[in-house]
């Protein structure tokens, strides 16, 4: 039986793993952003996309 603390640890590790999937500015990140609807981009994502994917 997993304790409550153990469940939170599993959730935290999952969140960290998902956040580390693509690094901002990498080719994979640029591709992911191209596929993401522009209306769902944050201001930071739009700025990072312009900086790292358009004006390399």
Could you read off the pLDDT of 42-54 as tens digits, one per residue? 999 999 999 999 9
Q: Considering the domain boundaries, does residue 26 fall inside one? A: yes
pTM of the entire structure? 0.61
Total count of domains within the chain: 1
Q: Considering the domain boundaries, does residue 51 fall inside one? A: yes
Higher pLDDT, 10 or 29: 29
Q: Residue 41 burial by CB count (10 A; 0-12/13-18/19+): exposed, middle or buried?
A: middle
Q: Considering the domain boundaries, does residue 16 fall inside one? A: no
**If you average pLDDT over every residue of the chain, what do you get?**
82
Domain assignment of residue 38, given as a range: 22-56
- Cα angle 48, 27, 15 (rounded to 5 degrees) comes to 75
């Amino acid at each position: 039986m997993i304790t409550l603390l153990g469940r939170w640890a599993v959730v935290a590790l999952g969140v960290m793993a998902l956040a580390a999937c693509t690094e901002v500015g990498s080719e994979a990140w640029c591709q992911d952003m191209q596929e993401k609807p522009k209306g769902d981009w944050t201001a930071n994502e739009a700025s990072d996309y312009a900086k790292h994917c358009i004006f390399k």
